[in-house]
Structure 1
Amino acid sequence: MKKIDLLYGVLIGIVTAALGVYLYMEFVTDYTIEEGFYILKSQGQLGKLIALGAILNLGVFFLLLKLDKEMMARGVVFATLLLTILTLFA
């Protein structure tokens, strides 16, 4: 059961980061999601956008620790590491 909790944590981390990217694009910029991705990709700023979206993973990590879901919290950390690698190449 612990391996499935790790997978759930990874999925939670990726969805949370995507939600963070969406919220940033919606409330901070004047672009739509599609326009924003194209513009930021052409400017070389897409990695920074992904990093900003991953900030929400910090809150989710501590929430899962408070709920005694250590393996899910590890999955969130793993998802954050995956997003870091993606940021390096974006």
Structure 2
Amino acid sequence: MKFKNITNGFISGLLASVTGMIIISVIFSQVTLQESLIQLYHQERLGSLISMGALINLPIFFIAIKKEKYDFALGLILISLIFVVVITFLKIF
């Protein structure tokens, strides 16, 4: 495994997920991004936004697998697992 490819996959997954979260917040909210995130946190729905933002990693993962870039796909899996842990903690606490 090449650490560089795993790191690239991790960073790409993180950027794609954050971009997805921002796009969803901007499109579906009538307030600013900061106010939207604060409202979602107080309504205990921030985990849902994170999971919807992380869905953008799915097509990127399948493209990486099809092109046989397994290390890159591993980075995507790592960031997705981190998001699952964060969502779980947000739902529990």
TM-score (norm 1): 0.92
CA distance in 2, matches of 1:2, 1:56: 24
Q: Which residue of structure 2 lines up, in the alignment, with residue 17 of structure 1? A: 17
**Unaligned 5+ runs, structure 2:** none
Give RMSD over aligned pairs: 1.2
1:63 CA drift (Å): 1.5
CA distance in 1, matches of 2:23, 2:89: 23
CA deviation string 1:13-60 (max 9, x = no partner): 111100110110111222221011100011111111100100000011
TM-score (norm 2): 0.89
Percentage identity across aligned positions? 28
Q: Which residue of structure 1 lines up, in the alignment, with residue 7 of structure 2? A: 7
Q: Could you tell which deviates more after superposition, 66-75 or 39-48? A: 66-75
Q: Which residue of structure 1 lines up, in the alignment, with residue 85 of structure 2? A: 85
CA distance in 2, matches of 1:29, 1:59: 25
Q: Which residue of structure 2 lines up, in the alignment, with residue 67 of structure 1? A: 67
Q: How many residues align?
A: 90
CA distance in 2, matches of 1:55, 1:31: 23
CA distance in 1, matches of 2:51, 2:42: 17
1:66 CA drift (Å): 2.4
